[in-house]
Structure 1
Amino acid sequence: MIVHVSTGSSYDAGGVALVSRLINRSLADYSEKTDIPYRILDLGAPHPHLTDPNAVFFSGNKVGLGLAMYRWHLTRPDSVFILSHIGISRAYGLIPSGWQHPSALIFYGIDAWKKMTGLRRRMLNDAQLVLSISEFTLDRARHFNPDFPDAKILHLSLEERAPTDEVDLALLEQVGKDFLLIVGRMAASQQHKGHDQLIEAMPIILRQCPQARLVIAGKGDDMARLQEKAISLNVAENVIFTGFISEATRDALYNRCRALVMPSTGDGFGLVYLEAMTYKKPCIALKNGSAREVVVDGEAGILIDEQSAEAIAEAALTLLKDDALCQRLGEAGYQRYHNTFSWPMFNARFQGYLDELLSARR
């Protein structure tokens, strides 16, 4: 038996929920191939799109989740556990010390970039297999935890499903085509994605490309401040804040944009780069962030040395002025996605780790 313990609803928004869905899909495929049963213990609430009969939901009840894990511990000694987020540590604490089941623990970005203590440290120590979503995340985890155990890399993928929501046609008419695009939440507590520097780059860009536009897709409690910054720099007419958008609208923006520009310093992996690559769009990102594992400099986009307005503007102007370069980088990025990050690639990587974990119980 394979038990996947998920920190939240597999149909929540965001990267963590996406990983849960990828794991659930891979488990179903693995079970069909091997006849090894699986169960999903999800801390989130039921969702109409998640109809897997093997899923049990706990609607935020960490005690209930912990007790369910303990029951599996007692009644199915042959079980292996996939712990898909360190956030289940409180539920894990209900299990007595001496946990004997092989388990894999998956680490994401900022959740791993702190000193591991208490129950989180115990989860880490108990795991037979530690998986990190990127080398960048693993390096940062080791910075805060020099004794961090050996870990392996599980690069992510995207879902292959069409959005079911509606496209905002009025917004698409407003933004037009060939704009620079950044996609991501604007949080006052996490100002690492490069929104500030990208807005600061616009005056430089507009001096050479007066018709250039920047579309900032997403919402967050820092949006009003960023809007004020655009006004203060006299670029508000060329910077469009979309607010909340549907998945279908997001996809339409990727399809229409010139390039994705997200010089983030703090993303553990950067799914938005994959999203852009599936639409054959080049990416501008940082050399010293997780993007370097996704975007090959000069192949799928341009990697810049620093998160500065000047560096961003130089890269953006290069793409705005060169149609052939944009097309070449976009095509190469598309091929890189399919050769390295597509669903079959993720599924093969994850199922290889499942084989390794199952061998540990024998």
Structure 2
Amino acid sequence: AAPLRCRRDAEIVCWHLRLAPVAALLAWRLRRPFRVFLHGVEAWNALSPRVRGALARADFFGANSVHTLGRFRAAHPRFAAVPGRVFPLGLSSELDDSVAGQLPPELGGRPFLLSVTRLAETYKGEETLLRAFARVRARHPQLALVLVGSGPGLPRLRKTAEALDLGGSVLFAGGVSDADLSALYRACLAFALLSEGEGFGLVFVEAMARGKPCLATDADAAREVVRNGEDGLIVPPRNAEAAATALLRLVGDPPQAARLGAGARRAVEERFLPSHFRARMAAFMGIGGAAQGER
């Protein structure tokens, strides 16, 4: 086999912890520095022995949020002394809303709130959202809630919606096309995700890019994306009453919702455009200047 070769200034970059053993082996074979990007729950959950061993060779950790980097270091203190830096995510490409997507016909023109997530982990907060929505619907019976996403938690959430007597006001849309998702973002009154385990929360950025106010919790990295009172509202996790109060503010006060939505769009233009994302990722990879040494 031909020997492995690379540029003298090359570094090995690992974008997911599952690939760390392969990246570490490659870095060892090539005698090159090795840096790892941390994304979310996989960074602070238990690590396999192979991944732990691979990370012991890492020279630098990048992370998508202060929350992710902090939880990683707290969960795995042996790596706390390794240099690291936060590189927030952003839109990876310009929004293309030129293709007209379709709203679910079941909406029938009703105003609606939107949530987009994988329906699997309980930390995503969808049960809390359903309980909060039940309180909001008592004041706004014409309002609907659209949940986009699939996963093994769907039967459990359907049962919760039935127990709350939400009937046809909750639409479990499953997976949708990019065009249809764009249409949902554009048409919704507000976006809500009450998770307590987001490593970043790119769905917030996607909603904010369409000028939509967002509701998030103060338990994870969402508070680094959504600024309370500026482009959305922040509430404690697992608190349906607080979430309902916040949603009522967004639904019942259109001028405030419009102000927050305008702030959300400005936030994307100032912090989360594709150009911002590319520059941060180039910095992480050491293109045009090393990121090493920052903590």
Task: Give yes or no for TM over 0.5.
Answer: yes
Please state if 1:314 is matched with 2:245: yes
- SS of match in other structure, 1:281: coil
Deviations 1:49-103 (A, max 9, x none): xxxxxxxxxxxxxxxxxx9xx954x454442222111111342465485762123
Please state if 1:215 is matched with 2:146: yes
Q: Is the 8 A contact 2:24 2:55 kept in 1?
A: no
Q: What's the CA shift for 1:359?
A: 8.7
Letter aligned with residue 162 of structure 1: D
Aligned with 1:259 (options 171, 174, 190):
190
More displaced 10-residue stretch of structure 1: 177-186 or 159-168:
159-168
Give the distance between the partners of 1:175 and 1:186, measured in 2 at CA: 24
Letter aligned with residue 84 of structure 2: A
Aligned with 1:285 (options 216, 219, 243):
216
Letter aligned with residue 316 of structure 1: L
Please state if 1:181 is matched with 2:114: yes
Q: Where in structure 2 are the equivalents of 1:5-16 lying within 5 Å? A: none
Q: What's the CA shift for 1:143?
A: 2.0
Give the distance between the partners of 1:105 and 1:123, measured in 2 at CA: 10
Aligned with 1:110 (options 41, 56, 59):
41
Q: Is the 8 A contact 2:197 2:219 kept in 1?
A: no
Cα 1:210–1:71 change in 2 (3 A) is farther
Letter aligned with residue 342 of structure 1: L
Letter aligned with residue 140 of structure 1: R
Q: What's the CA shift for 1:200?
A: 1.3
Letter aligned with residue 83 of structure 2: D
Please state if 1:155 is matched with 2:76: no
Aligned with 1:198 (options 96, 106, 129):
129
Cα 1:255–1:165 change in 2 (3 A) is closer
Q: Is the 8 A contact 1:259 1:283 kept in 2?
A: yes
Letter aligned with residue 156 of structure 1: L
More displaced 10-residue stretch of structure 1: 227-236 or 245-254:
227-236
Give the distance between the partners of 1:211 and 1:172, measured in 2 at CA: 15
C-alpha RMSD of matched pairs (Å): 2.6
Letter aligned with residue 102 of structure 2: D
Alignment length, in residue pairs? 288
- SS of match in other structure, 1:147: helix
Give the distance between the partners of 1:98 and 1:164, measured in 2 at CA: 47
Percentage of pairs with the same residue: 32
Give the distance between the partners of 1:294 and 1:199, measured in 2 at CA: 23
Deviations 1:309-339 (A, max 9, x none): 1111111011110000010000011001110
Give the distance between the partners of 2:225 and 2:95, measured in 1 at CA: 21
Cα 1:97–1:351 change in 2 (3 A) is closer
Letter aligned with residue 277 of structure 1: M
Letter aligned with residue 217 of structure 1: V
Give the distance between the partners of 2:105 and 2:226, measured in 1 at CA: 27
Cα 1:262–1:345 change in 2 (3 A) is same
Q: Where in structure 2 are the equivalents of 1:1-362 lying within 5 Å? A: 72=4, 74=5, 76-92=7-23, 94-95=25-26, 97=28, 100-116=31-47, 118-148=49-79, 149-158=82-91, 159-162=93-96, 167-169=101-103, 171-172=104-105, 174=107, 176-187=109-120, 190-353=121-284, 354=286, 355-357=288-290
Normalization by structure 2: what TM-score? 0.88
Cα 1:138–1:75 change in 2 (3 A) is closer
Give the distance between the partners of 1:359 and 1:215, measured in 2 at CA: 43
- SS of match in other structure, 1:234: coil
Give the distance between the partners of 1:156 and 1:208, measured in 2 at CA: 37
- SS of match in other structure, 1:332: helix
Q: What's the CA shift for 1:122?
A: 3.6
Q: Is the 8 A contact 2:11 2:34 kept in 1?
A: yes
Q: Is the 8 A contact 2:110 2:143 kept in 1?
A: no
Q: What's the CA shift for 1:196?
A: 0.6
